[in-house]
Amino acid sequence: MSFSGLLYNIFLGKKGEVADLVTQGKKLSLLTKQFRRLLATNIAEHIHVSGVRGNTLILTTSSAAWATRIKLQSKELAQLASQEIKEFQWVTQIQIKIIPIAETPPNPKPLERNISGKAAKDLRAMAKSIENDALKSSLLRLANRSIQKNHKEKN
């Protein structure tokens, strides 16, 4: 069996917690699609079905603004959902939870590593005493970079 076949069996097999999670995720995705058909298109993309607890349909959204818009329509939506979607036939109310989307922090600027003129001078002196050509070349490049950078900053 190939590795991809093994993963397929793990994720989509009939046994195991992972398979149950995949199945539950697919079911919630399908219910979300069905529920979104009841909403205006500008709101629909911001709402996700998270589950049903008793007679309460639990929805999630990323902001309070979208939650407020759904809350204003929640009684009508609960009634419409119970009539239109078989899985929601017992739903009499809607609960909305806000789960903010985590913002990815901006990439920090790389630290500028400056070496002083004295350090550059010492690197050149060290390079003169080294027999290994690759190491000597690297040390000289490093020393020259610091001089070029320092020279650019002064101009």
Q: Which domains does the chain have, with CATH numbers?
A: 3-98 (3.30.300.180), 117-154 (no CATH)
Burial of 81 (0-12, 13-18, 19+ CB in 10 A): buried
C-alpha 3/C-alpha 23 separation (Å) is 21
What does the pLDDT look like over 85-130, one tens digit per residue?
999 989 999 999 999 887 777 777 777 777 788 888 898 999 999 8
Interval 39-90: pLDDT, tens: 988 899 999 999 989 999 999 999 999 999 999 999 999 999 999 999 998 9
Report phi then psi at 109, rounded to 5. Answer: -65, 140
* Two tokens, residue 15: 């046994």
Which residue, 47, 43, 51, is CA-closest to 27?
51
Find the length of the chain: 155
Residue 70, judged by CB atoms within 10 A of its CB (0-12, 13-18, 19+), counts as: middle
Model pLDDT, residue 81? 93
pLDDT at 14: 52
Q: Is the dihedral of CA 59, 61, 63, 68 positive or negative?
A: negative
Yes or no: say if 31 and 47 are a contact pair by the CB < 8 Å rule.
no
Looking at residue 2, its pLDDT comes to: 45
d(CA 62, CA 107): 23
**pLDDT-based confidence at residue 10 (cuts at 50, 70, 90):** low
Binning pLDDT at 50, 70 and 90, where does residue 30 land?
very high
Query: Is a pLDDT exceeding 50 seen at residue 155?
Result: no
Rounded Cα distance, 91 and 76, in Å: 11
pTM reported for the whole predicted model: 0.57
4-12, long-range: CB within 8 Å, 24+ apart, which pairs? none
Angstrom distance (rounded) from CA 15 to CA 51:
22
